[in-house]
Amino acid sequence: MARLYHFMLCPFSRRIRLALGEYGVDAELIEERPWSLTRALLKLNPSGALPVFIDDDRVTVAGIEAVSEYLEETRAGTGGAATLLGATPVERAEVRRLVAWFDVTFHRDVSRNVIVENIERRFAAPEHGGGAPNMQAVRNSLSHIRGHLDYIGRLVEERRWLAGDRLSHADLAAAAHLSCLDYLGDVPWSASDGAKGWYARIKSHPCFRPLLADQIRGMPPPRSYADLEF
């Protein structure tokens, strides 16, 4: 069976867990903690970036872009799995533009700080950056979230999914980041009906179920996190 090295509240790992569900790939999940990676993980990916996917034939694929493109190349169109990248170069360009919107811009402006301050500071040893969270940094980052919800809302006014008519890695990337913040109770869904409606749709997909069952020990999510009518 394939294996995925991941961390529950790593948005890149979450995107691949969602993609595995959509492509219909079973994988054993192996938990890593980004603030104290195992030697096994660093051997698989010297940069330390999660996730890392080990295919059935032991091919190692490291890092979010490598894994997402590898799964599309090897799993889309097989066994009934649809493409998650798009059918033409132009469609794929739009999916990849929006993936970068969330994996680069949203991550830099919002999710990275919120996750580092709330999770890594809490669980890491002091020598690995543990300590009191910088709540001002968290508030600064969260102040940017409404602009992104607005953007999602504007996209789904004109499209069924973020990049077009079909679910794509753009939706999975956006949902992966937002679901990490939602686990922490930090998404003001009432700020955008459009974004909320889009998230309700993707949250009810079967691929989302494993994520909704996630529980970090000593840090349970709010009840709304797993509620399909949040």
Smallest distance from a second copy to CB 63, Å: 4
The interface region with a second copy, picked from 17-25, 96-104, 188-196, 218-226 by CB under 8 A, is 96-104
Residue 58 near a second copy by CB under 8 A: no
Instruction: Name the minimum Å distance from CB 13 to a second copy.
Output: 14
**Cα–Cα distances in angstroms (integers) from residue 13 to residues 49, 81, 90, 179, in the given order:** 10, 20, 26, 12
Q: Judged by CB, which is closer to a second copy: 21, or 86?
A: 86
Q: Which is nearer to a second copy, 66 or 216 (CB)?
A: 66
Least distance to a second copy from the beta carbon of 36, Å? 18
- 62 belongs to the binding site for a second copy (CB under 8 A): yes
Which range of residues in 32-40, 65-73, 121-129, 172-180 is near a second copy by CB under 8 A? 65-73
Whole-number Å distance between alpha carbons of 157 and 78: 32
DSSP 120-167: IHHHS-GGGT-SS--HHHHHHHHTTHHHHHHHHHHHHHH-SBTTBSS-
- Residue of 76, 100, 124, 216 that binds a second copy (CB under 8 A): 100
- Tell me the closest approach of the beta carbon of residue 220 to a second copy, in angstroms: 31
Q: Residue 28's CB: how many other CB atoms inside 10 A? A: 10
The dihedrals phi and psi of 8, each to the nearest 5 degrees, come to -50, -45
Chain center to CA of 108: 14
Contacts of residue 111, defined as CB under 8 A and 6 or more positions apart, other chains included, come to 11, 141, 177, 180, 181
Give the one residue of 46, 79, 206, 218 binding a second copy; rule: CB under 8 A.
46
Nearest alpha-carbon partner for 224 in 175, 186, 173, 191: 186
Angle subtended at Cα 3 by Cα 76 and Cα 39, rounded to the nearest 5 degrees: 135
C-beta closer to a second copy: residue 65 or 214: 65
Q: Is residue 212 involved in binding a second copy (CB under 8 A)? A: no
Nearest Cα residue to 152 out of 168, 171, 138, 177: 171
DSSP three-state, residue 173: helix
Give 36 or 74: the residue with its C-beta nearer to a second copy.
74
Site stretch for a second copy (CB under 8 A), options 57-65, 130-138, 177-185, 191-199: 57-65
Using CA atoms of 171, 175, 176, 178 in order, give the dihedral in degrees to the nearest 10: 140
If binding is defined by CB under 8 A, does position 97 make contact with a second copy?
yes
Of residues 71-90, which lie at the interface with a second copy (CB under 8 A)? 73-74, 89-90
Which tokens sit at 193?
A: 């009906």
For position 209 contacting a second copy by CB under 8 A, the verdict is no
Residues that bind a second copy (CB under 8 A): 45-47, 49, 59-67, 69-70, 73-74, 89-90, 92-94, 96-97, 99-101, 104-105, 151
